[in-house]
Every structure is written in structure tokens, then in C-alpha cells.
Structure 1
Amino acid sequence: MSKLYALFGGTFDPIHYGHLRPVEALAQQVGLKKVTLLPNNVPPHRPQPEASAQQRVAMLRCAIADRPLFEIDTRELEHDTPSWTVATLEALRAERGAEQPLAFIVGQDSLLTLAKWHRWQDLLSLCHLLVCKRPGYATQMDTPEMQRWLDEHLADDVQQLHHSSAGRIWLADTPLLNISATEIRQRRHAGASCADLLPDAVIDYIDSVGLYRG
């Protein structure tokens, strides 16, 4: 069976340790050799990014320069339409074939609001969901119907992710890091330090182009 191929999407405005470290822990737990970062162009459910697409990709490159686990896929930045995850997954499924084990990494917060996603019911026909913990979020879904859906699809063995192409949900035991891009932008606007919240190379880039000032 092909290797499990995992994607991690986000606005990454900017990328920070709250993105990187839980995914690194997840990769070790699940046995991922690569994780593809998928920057969103027009995120449907949130305010538009403060940094441009080119700046966000540049920050990703800075962040992963010494992290061989990660690579970048910029396909969602090539469209002016909203970045629907299901459409990207359909394209990847067409490219990689029906047998390729494919996974999409989300946070616990995203899992809890999954029913608001565009065509969310189709996600598990296309991929597995790998869920990283988030501090302050519930562990139960907000309706009995969604909880039943979660329980029906939970994986209890990592090998289920590697030996089937889609359809499972893995609740990962990842570190709880209370870091947000919103907090980082606010701290930058206020002239406060963001040391230890994101890689030094990203901070250097932010300083060099004057992002998140004033």
C-alpha cells in the first residue's frame, strides 16, 4: 500500500509553533514521512489574511528550511475562488488515485465545527482526518448526531490509516500550545516581543518586510 500522504491547510498569517509542533508530534505518532502545508487563498470562514499570499508562502519557506518533514503546495493560491477543502481533496484524489491513503490534518476546533464546512459529508470519502488537540476546546461534538458520526469513524489503530485510502478519524495525542496567529499579529502591532511563539527565521522575515506593524 502507498505511503500515507498528509496535508495541513491554513491561512498561516503567520505560521507559528502552534502549527508546527503539534503536527511534528502527530507525524511521529502516526508515522508520517512528509506533511504538505497547504496555504489558503480566500479562507471562507474567517477574515482575509493581513499578509499577502506571497508573504505567507515566504514565511512558510523560512519556517520549514530546517524542518525536512514539511513541504509546501501552493495550488489553492492559484485561484481567486474560496479555498474549499473538499475541492482540493478531490483534485488530489484524482491525481494520486483511489488507493492512495490520504489524510487531512485539522485542529480540535475545526473538528467541532466541521458541520459548517462546505460539503463536509464528502470529506471522509476522500481522506482520513487527523485531529490535533487544541487548548480550551471540548472533546465532545456539539450534537448527538455529530458525536455518533465521530464515534462510527474513529480509528483505534494507526495501521487503519495506512491500509485504507480514506474514511477514518484519528484523535492524536499532541501538545497543547496556546498560540494563535491573531495574538502574534496583535503583539506585533503593539510592538511586543513574539520570541518563542514562532521560528526566528520567520520573525526575521517579518521584520525585513515590515509586516504586522502599527
Structure 2
Amino acid sequence: MPINPAAPPTLHAFFGGTFDPIHYGHLRPVEALAKEVGLNQVTLLPNHVPPHRPQPEANAQQRLKMVALAIAENPLFAVDDRELHRTSPSYTIDTLETIRKERGASLPLAFIIGQDSLLTLHKWHRWQALLDVCHLLVLARPGYSQQMDTPELQQWLEQHRVTDATQLSLRPEGAIYLADTPLLDVSATEIRERRHQGISCDDLLPRAVQRYIELQGLYR
């Protein structure tokens, strides 16, 4: 089939997280987002030293291995381990600016966050620069407000929001898309608590990850 020269470039999406451990609350909403927006691939970015959260229980190598096991049979996902090689705090904007330089100025890039992160985005390091390098794709999260904390932040959201996903491939950055993804109430905290109590987590994360957690003796 000949390539259509008028077709917009493919949107490349990235999804960061501590992934301590990775679970269905990460994977299934992103799979739904990919169908909704038309993503061919989502690159997972495991964090090394998250600046705003408690430090992970599993080490960097273990978390990377769990991510690899979770996505091994799913061609939608890839993994980029660049943040795990840092010894300093891992700021999203720094990583995205590096990716933007690597991919060029014209390629549409997106970063996936949850509604919970959108509501606290103004507390992130250089948060206002994010839309200078990428779009933001926002996953629905159970129990979180649909409104920003202040009128100024709500105005910022409405100024950049698009409701037509096809618009995301027509420009490199600058838009916010609120996705209609499933509300899965799964958290890594719940998984760790179940492990402490000796309760199975097979319904919360891929079996291969659960086996690895058991073999490594994690979250006891």
C-alpha cells in the first residue's frame, strides 16, 4: 500500500511512573487510551528517584524487570530505562526535553498522566514548560475532582484542552486531552499491603510479575 504523504505523523506517547510494582491500574487504562487516541506504541519510563513521593521498596533493577515481564507479550508497550541511570532526582521535564531533542522539533509527542497528577501538576518542577515539549494525555482516576484547584489553573486547562484526539497528531505539542478511560481502583500501595498480609495479587497485576515478586521476596 503506498504511503499517503498527507497523513499526519504518528503520535509518540510516554508514560512515567515508579512502577513499584507495575499493575493493571497502569496497563489497562493506557491500553484503552491507545485505542481512543490511536497510539501505536507507548513507552514506559520507570522513575529512579521520584522527587515528590516516598522512595520505592524495590530497587531500580527489580522494577525494570517487573516492567519488562508485564509488557513482554504486549506489542503496544516499550520501555526506556534512561531515568534509572540517574543518581539525582528524576524530573519529568528534563527527560521530556531530552526526548524532544532526540526526536526533532516536528514530531508529535505526548506524556500520559492520571487525573490525580493533573490536579497537582502546578507543584511539579517547571510544570509550565511541559506543554512546550509535548501534549498531555490525562487518564481518568476514580475519586478525583474534574476541576482544577483555582480559577487560574482551570483557565489554563481550558485554554489548552482539545476534545478531538485527531488534533494531537497535527502539531508537535501544546494540547491537553482528557481521556474517557476506565476507572480502575488499583494501587501499588494495595498490592504491597496484600503482600504484607500474604494475600494473592493475581487479580491486580500480571501473573509473571506476581511470580517475580514472590521469587525476589518483595513487599513482605
The amino acid that maps onto 1:181 is: A
The amino acid that maps onto 1:109 is: D
Equivalence for 2:150: 143
Equivalence for 1:195: 202
Is 2:78 the counterpart of 1:78? no
Compare 155-164 and 99-108 and name the one that shifted more. 155-164
Aligned-pair CA distance for 1:99: 0.2
The whole-number CA distance in structure 1 between the counterparts of 2:104 and 2:125 is: 23
Q: Could you say what the CA RMSD is over the residues aligned between the two structures, in angstroms?
A: 0.6
Aligned-pair CA distance for 1:2: 2.6
Secondary structure at 2:147's aligned position in 1? coil
Equivalence for 2:133: 126
The whole-number CA distance in structure 2 between the counterparts of 1:5 and 1:61 is: 19
The amino acid that maps onto 2:101 is: A
Aligned-pair CA distance for 1:100: 0.6
Aligned-pair CA distance for 1:193: 1.6
Is 2:130 the counterpart of 1:99? no
Unmatched segments (≥5 aa) in structure 1: none
Is 2:28 the counterpart of 1:13? no
- Residue number among 41, 49, 53 corresponding to 2:48 in the alignment: 41
Secondary structure at 2:177's aligned position in 1? strand
The whole-number CA distance in structure 2 between the counterparts of 1:210 and 1:48 is: 18
CA deviations over 1:109-150 (Å, ceiling 9, x no partner): 000000000000100011000000000000000100000000
Is 2:10 the counterpart of 1:3? yes
The whole-number CA distance in structure 1 between the counterparts of 2:79 and 2:106 is: 23
Secondary structure at 1:106's aligned position in 2? strand
Aligned-pair CA distance for 1:158: 1.1
- Residue number among 204, 211, 214 corresponding to 1:204 in the alignment: 211
Secondary structure at 2:62's aligned position in 1? helix
- Residue number among 152, 167, 177 corresponding to 1:160 in the alignment: 167
Unmatched segments (≥5 aa) in structure 2: 1-7
Task: Flag as ranges the 4+ runs of structure 1 deviating above 2 A.
Answer: none
